[in-house]
Structure 1
């Protein structure tokens, strides 16, 4: 389209409706300059519809710049996660994540597994290591050519690929009903992405398994996820494998006054209307 616009073989002066689908995905893979060039060519008197699974700051800036008095429609269901998905987390140190992953795959023996990481480079690194130990592994992210992504997805749909490593954005087009397991190798920073990730399993009433790797430092973030989905996530362990080194913690004896420089205790958060211990106290 940009090529036609630059050569004058196309005009957008009569456009009345502009639809941006998967807007967060397009911005993530670097299409923002192209999108803005096209929008600037469109008439100001138009209706713009923007669809996005998440609404990060980049989307909000696009909305504020190119939309007039927009209406926000949220289609998020009241029940955030599917009851048939067995959710659990495993506490793990960063340097033990890969060993934990191989042990989880060996224990669970998934028919088809989707592994989520936060960054493209991390996805490539994990693929290089995992493909040496597990058969039928592939990786997909926005830096791969479209033809290669389509080939990988065809292999995943036909079950020739058993384990697919993906980033959040690249996974948007994954609609495979046979996914039995979702593993959050990296806990998503955007809580909404947690819901989108685990929703890839347990399709059409089938049972599914979602396992999240959580470092001890991410306890507060896990608690935020639990608050969002209104559900406590069960803790899991691999028998015989020490996934993390317990942090030393000083428990002040009853009646002893706190030190002057000791920060105040964080208030307990509520799940299901009850006060519960925070994740860091459940280790």
Structure 2
């Protein structure tokens, strides 16, 4: 396939980065106009052949930043030239879909491999020798063990969400995979950029010519030190402006709502009715909590679905497809999905359960306000969870204002109330906001003619 362009004007700012016309044509069709900061920084250096640690806020186009150089340097007819490792099944599907969109006018093909789906279907796709394999660590190891894929032609190793990929849970799998990266190889000798040297590289198993790109919204010093052991020095660390000071995108309006545990569901219902979101994700801490909450919302007339680790892969994919196409408006999710959901036009993130890890908060709210759009994030906080709120504010270097809902009145604890065994054991106390926090009252908005109907009525005709 040759590079061809249509009458659609090519994005000039991307032209300046040295991207070939076939990819520029796809960028134009996908309405890419101006590179984000991480794209402007990472693409030229990746094309120059250096190993990169890239840090940028969630929702700023990190996938395209590493996908474009891979598509540009891979060659036709050679299998597994790039391996992209991701922490979740959903992220594997979405990253591969993005690569397909960007490479649709090139001869380079890709495939997503992950657990929860029959391996036979993925093996069938791999027989066509796609150049790019996007996968979760467990399934990649399985395919390597079965000798269905090999790294003899490998040119690129990408770790997406590197902070999570190198945490304790994934560390052994990553070491297993990277130890199998062989030296030399057909594709690594073929059409390499002149800037690439052929010397030794650091890290176990890394061989001459394999280029590594590790990206995430958050990279702490410990993770950076560990990541460098798998990379070739000198490694370039590229930090998009603001990524290390305030990791949440500026376009997200963030609020917390003070609530007693027994009032959380009532407050959530009031918030959904008040905000009337276009698309919302409600995050829960546990699979059981997500199932229970989704059932209650559905019983109250709000069309929603749940997504968590207990769902079989085919059902998870159906749920995500329906969410993307607007067949329902509220997705109840566990943190399994917080790094694997890339859906345009998510207007609201609601932390029904505040995360204990501030980094999880960063990734949750990064599902909204993608690529410059606006979005809102609300976090329900009980009096006993003040420390978690403070830790989040410290991480994002900002004070989160308190929101109250006009007309919502807290209720006393029910006579049969029992504290959640997983939560604090202290006796309940009246919920109160810390003094320094600014407060905002969410007032009731009347729907005008032609505006979106309330959530509880929106899908009634479909049921």
Q: Fold conserved (TM > 0.5)? A: yes
- Alignment correspondent of 1:221: 388
- Alignment correspondent of 2:410: 242
2:325 to 158, 174, 181: 158
* Whole-angstrom distance in 2 between the partners of 1:6 and 1:233: 48
Matches within 5 A, 1:254-273: none
Distance 1:146 1:240, change over 3 A: closer
What is the CA deviation profile of residues 252-276 of structure 1, one whole-angstrom value per residue up to 9, with x for unaligned ones? xxxxxxxxxxxxxxxxxxxxxxxx9
State the SS of the aligned residue for 2:384.
Answer: helix
Distance 1:234 1:223, change over 3 A: same
- Alignment correspondent of 2:75: none
- Alignment correspondent of 1:117: 284
Q: Which runs of 5+ in 1 are unaligned?
A: 250-275
Matches within 5 A, 1:60-71: 63=227
Distance 1:203 1:98, change over 3 A: same
Deviation at residue 183 of structure 1 after TM alignment? 0.8
Distance 1:9 1:211, change over 3 A: closer
Distance 1:154 1:106, change over 3 A: same
Distance 1:15 1:202, change over 3 A: closer
Scaled by the length of structure 1, the TM-score of the pair is 0.70
- Alignment correspondent of 2:180: 41
1:21 to 145, 150, 160: 160
- Alignment correspondent of 1:212: 379
Cα RMSD (Å) of the superposition? 3.7
Distance 1:185 1:14, change over 3 A: same
Are residues 1:188 and 2:355 paired?
yes
* Whole-angstrom distance in 1 between the partners of 2:374 and 2:158: 35
Query: How many corresponding residue pairs?
Result: 252
Distance 1:42 1:182, change over 3 A: same
State the SS of the aligned residue for 1:41.
Answer: coil
* Residues 258 and 431 in structure 2, CA contact (< 8 A), matched pair in contact too: no
Distance 1:172 1:240, change over 3 A: closer
Structure with higher RCO (Cα < 8 A, 6+ apart): 1
- Alignment correspondent of 1:51: 215
Distance 1:35 1:142, change over 3 A: farther
Q: Which runs of 5+ in 2 are unaligned?
A: 1-139, 183-204, 413-427, 438-463
* Residues 27 and 58 in structure 1, CA contact (< 8 A), matched pair in contact too: no
- Alignment correspondent of 2:187: none
* Residues 283 and 352 in structure 2, CA contact (< 8 A), matched pair in contact too: yes
* Whole-angstrom distance in 1 between the partners of 2:179 and 2:142: 15
